[in-house]
Amino acid sequence: MSRETRITADWIAVDWGTTHVRAWAMSDGDDVLATAQSSAGAGGLTRNDFESALLDLVGEWLGERVTQVICCGMVGSRQGWAEATYLQVPTPPQSGEPVVAPSSDLRLQVFILNGIKQINPADVMRGEETQIAGLLALEADFDGIACLPGTHTKWVHVVGGEVFHFATFMTGEMFSLLSQKSILRHSLSNEGLEEASFVAALERAMAKPERVANRLFGLRAEGLLDNLDPLVARSRLSGMLIGLEIAAAKPYWLGQELRLIGDAKLCEIYRLALSHLALEVTILDGTDTTLAGLIRGYRSIETTGETPCTVN
């Protein structure tokens, strides 16, 4: 965990994912006073662990008065601190009633923002909706597609300030499993991207997706028989999987204005893939959009003055 110098926060923003949690000490003017992060992700905590994990992370920022903490992400899942219900599409992000999580420390008032669900086809998001809210805070008139690359990449259709429809692809998780747990782990480099190999694999996967499972094993075979460069093998694997995703997501990106939101390195790989299709995209930093969304959520709670649902 990392921490900056001791300060007192006016309020605290928290992005609580499955494997990590990060927090920002905020002023009333929405300036960042300090940041902190740790590996105490929601996936490793029981419901009774969240308060102590939060205090370990931000306790030094608390004063004597009650401090509001605005949280997004897996902290609001069924296995999280308190379950925050899903809003159903089409819906503006953050239009629902956040949950107040139970806490014994009287200095804390913890709000958990809602996720978003889609009934047909079935899909859900937790955390990404806050980045969409952040996108709309930064670009109020945005209509188009937001792609959020990650372990489970989201393609989100945003219309009139609402999440209209979205689709999730497990591309990142498949890449992780294949590169670290499958037989391909013996043939791949640990990092890097060779552009020509990536683009060629992308093209082949989009043209003949039915051949991908066969071509995946070919990476191993070429490594054994022809000493295929591990960097080339890694780049081809990435190209094949992202090619499958982009082909399936064509109804989202075709003829639409595009924003990529997330980690700069991963967004750059998606930009490369999409630019090969002559698509122009704008990249927004994932941290910036998350924080902008949390600020928007805090201001929404502050403006309504309503008492959100409390979970006992």
Strands (E) in the chain, as ranges, are 2-3, 11-16, 21-26, 32-38, 67-73, 86-88, 99-101, 108-112, 115-118, 123-125, 144-148, 153-159, 162-169, 258-262, 281-285, 309-310
- Extract the tokens encoding 140: 């109020």
Q: Which two tokens stand for residue 81?
A: 């601190």
Mean pLDDT within 267-288: 96
Helices (H) and strands (E) in the chain, counts: 9, 16
For the segment 103-127, what is each residue's pLDDT rounded down to a tens digit? 999 999 999 999 999 999 999 999 9
Q: Looking at residues 147-161, what average pLDDT do you find?
A: 97
At 51-104, the pLDDT tens digits run 999 999 999 999 999 999 999 999 999 999 999 999 999 999 999 999 999 999
> DSSP label at 209?
G
pLDDT digits (tens, 9 = 90+) for 167-211: 999 999 999 999 999 999 999 999 999 999 999 999 999 999 999
pTM of the model: 0.92
Q: Single out the residue of 161, 231, 239 nearest to residue 207, CA to CA.
A: 239
